[in-house]
Amino acid sequence: MQEINNNNKNSLIFKNISFKVKKKNEELIILDNVSANVYSGELLGILGPSGAGKTTLLNVLTHSAYGGKSSGKITYNGKEITPKFLRENCYIVNQQDYHWPFLTCEETIEYAINLYMKKNTSEEVKNLKNKIIKQVGLESCRETKVGNEFFKGLSGGQKRRLSIAIALVKESSVIFLDEPTSGLDAAAASNVISELNKLSKELNLIIVTTIHQPSSKIFFDFDNVMILSEGRMAYFDSPHKCKSYLESIDKFVP
């Protein structure tokens, strides 16, 4: 595992994360001693095939893993992460985007500002709304309704950006995303990950996301990648070092 001295940055560190479930008389290990460190300004991608434990790891990190027993230590700047910290300082973007279909993009953001930041004046709300819309690249669809299966609205990629916008409204220090490119075409998926990389740098955020079978372009957009296999960590470091590492253990790639 890569260890970096980043004393001047905020840190999310998890050590020896395990998750076990009981099935009849047998104990199944879903995660087995997974550890990593992520710093502000970084985008971490958690990769692996279906069943590798990606979503379970995200659930353990966000205190939402049920049906089994989790263990290990999760800290932010050296202090253990609690449910209260998660509510106040983190935002979780699930695979499914949950937005009110009849609201426009900017109405959704404006209502979120009024919900999370109750003391803003109307002018402050307007300025913040415009700033966030620009940050996540939603200017062209700001007056488009979210939509649903019955009437056309935002595209899948735009809905995902809107979910990220809500995280920015909340002024989260850490953003967790579960398969943010699921259901998107190649171009939209690449744009979402590029946007996350850009936001992590510009706003000094820690962003952790799971992803399934990314393209090579998306793969190299991450600052670090973690590859899980059957609940164990097979690799954690820069994506640019992955090929040489695989070759060092006789796993050659074209």
Q: What is the DSSP string of 27-77?
A: EEEEEEEEEEEEETTEEEEEE-STTSSHHHHHHHHTT---SSEEEEEEEET
Pairing between strand 206-210 and 174-177?
A: parallel
Q: Which residues pair with 36 in a beta bridge?
A: 14
Residue type, 126: K
Q: What's residue 5's pLDDT?
A: 46
Residue 193 DSSP code: H
Of 57, 32, 33, 39, nearest in space to 3 by CA: 39
Instruction: Give the ranges where 45-174 is alpha helix by DSSP (H).
Output: 54-61, 83-89, 105-116, 122-135, 156-169
Q: What's residue 23's pLDDT?
A: 83
Residue 239 DSSP code: G
Q: What's residue 3's pLDDT?
A: 42
Q: What's residue 4's pLDDT?
A: 43
Q: What's residue 254's pLDDT?
A: 63
Of 34, 123, 106, nearest in space to 70 by CA: 34
Residue type, 233: M
Question: What digits encode the pLDDT tens for the residues 132-189?
Answer: 999 888 999 999 999 988 888 998 889 988 998 998 888 889 999 999 888 888 888 8
Of 33, 35, 8, 9, nearest in space to 20 by CA: 33
- Residue ranges for the chain with pLDDT beneath 50: 1-5
Roughly what angle, to the nearest 10 degrees, separates helices 156-169 and 186-202?
10
